[in-house]
Amino acid sequence: MDATVQPLDRRTLARYAIGSLGTGGFATLPGLVLVYYLTDTLGVAALAAGLLVAVAKIWDVVIDPVIGNRSDHSLATTGSRRRFMLIGALALPVFFALTFAVPAALNPAASMAWVAVAFLGCATAFSLFQVPYIGLPAELTRRYDDRTRLLTWRVVVLTIAILLFGAGGPILRGLSDDPRVGYLLMAVVAGVVIGAGLLVSTTIAPLNPPIARRSPNAPLAESYRAALAALRRSVPFRTLLGTFVLQAVATGMMLAGAQYVATWVLRSEAAVTLLFVALIAPALLCAPLWGRFAQRVGKERAFALSSTVFAVAALSLLGMLVVPGSWVYVPVAVAGAAYAGMQSLPLAMLPDVISADARTSGDGHAGTFSGVWTAGETMGMAFGATALTLVLAVTGYAERIAGETVEQSGTAVTGIILSFSVVPALLIVTSLLPLRRYRLRRADIDTIAPLNRQRKDAS
C-alpha cells in the first residue's frame, strides 16, 4: 500500500520501535565496554584499542553506502528491503559473542587480532540491518507529524535498550569472578536479546510488487556515486548529517568514557550502572515530550534546544576536577532528558529530507540516504571512542591485564574528566552551526505527499 494512505497504527509503531531494542543494544554495549575490555582485561594499549575500534567503524563507512544502494536495488527488483535486514539480524548475535570469547592463552597482540576480526563481522551484520531500517520511515508514512510519532516511540524503545544494556551488561559481566567469563556471559545473553529485537522488526519492511525487472547489481563505484550525488543535491541532508555526525562524536566519547569515569573518578566500577540509570531514566520520560514540543514549534527548533541543554549539562561535569562525587548524577540526568530529543528529532527529520529529495529525483533512494546517514553516525561514534583513547594516551593512562593492580596519575584522571565534559560540550555547540542552514518545515513536507500521489496517478 502507498505510504501516503497507509495507516500508522499501533502495531506498525510497535514492530518498528522494537528494532531499536537490538540497534540500541549493539550501539551501547560495545561503545561502553569494548575499549575497557581491551585495555583492562586483554592488556591492549589504549591507543591500539582506539585504532581497532576506528578500523571497524571505517569499514562501516566503506560498506554502508554499498548496502544502501543494494537495498534500493532490492526494493526495486523484489519489492522489499527485508532480505538484508534478516541476514543482519541472524548474523549479529554470533559475531557479538565471538568478540568477547578471546581465549585466555592468547597474548595481547593475538587477542587484539581476534577481537578485530570478530568485531568487523559484527559491524557488517549490523549495517545489513540498520541501513534499510533507518530508511523505512520514509516508506511507512509521508506525513510530517506521523514521522515524529513513529521515531518518538522508536527512541522510547532505544532509551529502554540503552538502560537495559548499559546497566545490565556490567551486572552480567560481574556475575563471574573471572572477567573473561563475565564478558562472555554478557555477550551471549545480550546477543540473544539483540537478535530477537532485530528479527521482530524485519516484519515491518513492506512487501510490495517489484517496480523494475531484475538486473545485475551495479558496480561498487555506482554505490559511492549515488551517495555523493545525494549529498551534492540535498542541502537539508548535508546540514542535518553534519550536525548529527558531530553530535555522534560527542556522545561516542562520553559513552566510551563512562566506565573510566566510574572506575577512576567515582572510584567504583559498579557506578557505571548508576550513570546509565541517571542518563536514561529521564530520556525515557522525555522522549514523548520532545515529540509533542516538536509538533508545536517544529522539529529543527526542538532539536536545537535539546542540543543546547545537553551541552550545558556536559560542561557542568567539569566540576569533577574539584569535587568528584554523587552530585554528577544530576547533570547526567539533565543530559539524559536532552539526549531523548537529540536522538528522536533528527531521525524524524531524515524521512522529511528523503521525501523532499523524491519530489525532484523520484522515489526509491531511501536506502542511499540511510546508508550515508548510518556511515556518518558510525564514523562519528568511532571518532568519539578514538578521541577518548588519544586523550588517555596523551595523559598517560596505564593499561592493565585482568587481575593486575595499577594506579592512574592525576594527569590521566584529568584527561578522563575533560573527555567527559568540556570536549563533548564544545562538539555539541559546534554541531549547531550547520543546522542553521536547515530549511525544511512542516508546510514543505505536508505538500509533498499529495504532489507525489498526483504524479503517480498521472503516470
Task: Output the domain CATH number for residue 145.
Answer: 1.20.1250.20
Cell digits for 61? 563507512
Give kind and range of the element (H or E) at residue 143.
none
Residue 418 belongs to domain spanning:
18-210+230-451
In this structure, is residue 219 part of a structural domain?
no
The answer to whether the beta carbons of residues 163 and 157 sit under 8 Å apart is no
- What is the largest distance, in Å, between two alpha-carbon atoms of the chain? 73
User: What 8-state DSSP symbol labels residue 264?
Assistant: I
Residue 449 CA to residue 319 CA, distance in Å, equals: 50
Q: For each of the chain's 459 residues, which pLDDT tens digit applies?
A: 344 445 577 888 889 989 989 988 898 888 778 888 998 889 998 888 878 877 887 888 888 888 888 888 888 788 778 888 999 999 999 999 999 999 999 999 999 999 999 999 999 999 999 988 988 887 777 777 788 888 888 888 888 888 788 778 888 988 998 999 999 999 999 999 999 999 999 988 877 766 655 444 556 677 788 888 888 999 999 999 999 999 999 988 888 888 889 988 998 877 887 887 888 788 888 888 998 999 899 999 999 999 999 999 999 999 999 999 889 999 999 999 999 899 889 988 998 898 888 888 777 678 888 888 888 887 888 788 888 888 888 898 877 665 666 788 889 889 999 999 999 999 999 999 999 999 888 777 766 554 444 444 444
> Which amino acid is present at 102?
V
Residue indicated by cell numbers 591485564 = 401
- pTM across the whole model: 0.73
Which residues, other chains included, contact 315 with Cβ-Cβ below 8 Å and sequence gap of 6+?
421, 422, 425
In this structure, is residue 217 part of a structural domain?
no
Residue 419 CA to residue 386 CA, distance in Å, equals: 11
Length of the chain: 459
The answer to whether the beta carbons of residues 41 and 229 sit under 8 Å apart is no
The answer to whether the beta carbons of residues 366 and 72 sit under 8 Å apart is yes
In this structure, is residue 234 part of a structural domain?
yes
The answer to whether the beta carbons of residues 54 and 131 sit under 8 Å apart is no
The answer to whether the beta carbons of residues 401 and 297 sit under 8 Å apart is no
Q: How many domains in the chain? A: 1
In this structure, is residue 220 part of a structural domain?
no
The answer to whether the beta carbons of residues 149 and 290 sit under 8 Å apart is no
Residue 145, strand partner residues: none
Q: What is the DSSP string of 296-339?
A: HH-HHHHHHHHHHHHHHHHHHGGGGGT--SGGGHHHHHHHHHHH
Cell digits for 213? 525487472
> Which amino acid is present at 61?
V
The answer to whether the beta carbons of residues 21 and 28 sit under 8 Å apart is no
Q: 41 vs 183, 293, 348, 416, CA distance in Å? A: 10, 45, 39, 19
In this structure, is residue 6 part of a structural domain?
no
In this structure, is residue 216 part of a structural domain?
no
The answer to whether the beta carbons of residues 179 and 402 sit under 8 Å apart is yes
Classify 50 as helix, strand or coil: helix
In this structure, is residue 459 part of a structural domain?
no
In this structure, is residue 31 part of a structural domain?
yes
